[in-house]
Structure formats: structure tokens, C-alpha cells
Amino acid sequence: MGESLTVAVASGKGGTGKTSLATSLARVASAQYERVAYLDCDVEEPNGHIFLPATLERKEIIHVEVPEIDQEKCDYCGYCAQICAFNALAILPGAPLVFANLCHSCAGCWTLCPQKAIRVGKRGIGVVETGHLGHMEFWQGRLDPGVATSPPLIDALQKRGLGPGINILDAPPGTSCPVVRTVERADFVLLVTEPTPFGRHDLELAAAMVRQMGLPAGVVINRSSGDDGIIEDFCRQSGLPLLGRLPWERRVAEGYAAGLCAVEVMPRWRPLFLDWLQRIREIVAGRGGEGSAGNCGAER
């Protein structure tokens, strides 16, 4: 199988079972497909390694660009601080201050400095690590404590880890920048939810996000108690396909607490995951040329 398929597992809400589902999907897929890569894009709290205990083989420090002010050339005009949308600069007479942890590397200051007094410096924000679990590729990013901007690290992680075959992206919770950056390279977004008002509320946010980004998506209900009307209604109204559900199962929760993902505890669920993967392939293939137009053109 030469083609590649990238599936992001996301959910508006934390604690819905994203990681349990994404790691299960990666395990099941790796038994079936030639190359499978799991990428833990929740770089602030990566925990996929608990369920996929890969041996880490390589580690790379990731840097972002930040301004460095050449005091010989700076005339303290303050223009860079004026145009900085993130207040990362304060220019006082004799003391140009850079707050690198607020910098978003937009390049505005060093491009527009009238005195050409700003050099491009480097700041480490975290690491990308990789290894194997059997023949499955395992990738994760770990953001350094105190770093506020995770999208550049997610970017670096995906640039290194995405390849041919099946790529499973484990997204951070929520719908903010790190999630957008995680899903924007995906061919399909698998939205995990639980059949509760909280689950539905956050699913609505996540569904609005993928719709706005023009990404094909589908829903999986986790911890289903049999009565999933609250989510089924939303799927009907919004036209999101409901791919399936995983029943509430105490043993899965116990396994989770012991570091086992869902399919390790419930091997009979494997066909469900394979079935979802197959349906995702069909949906993505069905969109054909239309799919490429849907990606917002947000090339980075």
C-alpha cells in the first residue's frame, strides 16, 4: 500500500479517551498495514508512551527564531516594540529588552527594524523524540516547561514523523491553536466524544472547527451506555457521520489505569477499529479532488 492516510484523533473535551483510542487505532493498524506511525501531538502533556511503550532511539532539540538586539546599532526608536503584537519587546533608552518567551517568531521586528539592529537568534522550546514499538513508528514532542507556544513544536514533530502509510495524530484537548496545528495536516479528523451534555458541548466546538477548516470528520462515541441520543441527534443535525461506538466497560478503565489501551484489554474490539479505518479510507477516497480544496491553503 503506497498511499498515505493521516488521521487525527481529536475531541473538544479532555478525558474523552483520545489517547486510549488513538493508541488502540495505531496498534490495530500496525498489525495490518506496512508502515504505521503514531504521533503524540499533545506536546504539553504527552502520555501516549504509557500505552505504547516504545524504545526511544533519537532525540532532537527544536528551536524557534527570536530577536537579538545589537546594542551597537539600536537607536532605541522603539518601533519594534510598537509593532510587536505580543509585547515581546520593550525598548528603554540604553536597555532594549527582549522577552523571548512571548515571541511568536513572526519576523516583524527583524524585518522592519529601521536600523537593521535586530539579528535572528535561536531559542530551544522542546524536543522531538522517536522510536519503535515492534515495527510501529512512535513519535512524540515534549514542550519545555514554561514555554507558551506549542504550535512550532507540533509543526516540527509532524514534519519529521509524517510519512507514507498510516499516520495517527493524537491531538491535544480543546480547539485552540495547538489543536488546529495538529489537525491541519490530517486527511480526516476522528472526533471522540462521550454521550453526556459536556461531551456534546465540546463536540459542537470541535465540529465547528473542522467544518471551518474544511476537513472531513467523523464521530466515535466512547463510554456508550446504549443511550447515545444526545450525540446521535447532533450527528444527524450537523451531517457528521457516526462511525461507531465503544461501550462503557469497567475493565477498560482498569486497564487504562494500568497503562493498557482499550484493544489490549478488549481484543474483540479490534475489528471495530479496522472497520473505522476502512470507512475513513473510503470517505477520504470518495472526496477525491474535492479534498485538496478543503485544506484552507494553510501551508506552513
Q: What residues make contact with other proteins under the rule CB under 8 A?
A: 76, 78, 81-82, 85-88, 90-93, 95, 97, 99, 102, 148
Closest contact distance (angstroms) between CB of 97 and other proteins is 6
Closest contact distance (angstroms) between CB of 99 and other proteins is 6
- Asked if 97 and 40 touch (Cβ cutoff 8 Å), the reply is no
- Asked if 235 and 229 touch (Cβ cutoff 8 Å), the reply is no
Cβ-based nearer residue to other proteins, 112 or 285: 112
Q: Specify the 3-state DSSP secondary structure of 284.
A: helix
Output the nine-digit C-alpha cell for 172.
491535544
CA distance 81 to 72: 18
What does the DSSP assignment read for 42-82?
-TTS--HHHHS-PEEEEEEEEEEEEEEE-TTT-----HHHH
Cβ-based nearer residue to other proteins, 88 or 280: 88
Cβ-based nearer residue to other proteins, 87 or 237: 87
Closest contact distance (angstroms) between CB of 82 and other proteins is 8
Cβ-based nearer residue to other proteins, 78 or 163: 78
Q: Of 30, 13, 2, give the one whose Cα is nearest residue 201.
A: 13
Closest contact distance (angstroms) between CB of 180 and other proteins is 17
Closest contact distance (angstroms) between CB of 104 and other proteins is 9
Cβ-based nearer residue to other proteins, 87 or 225: 87
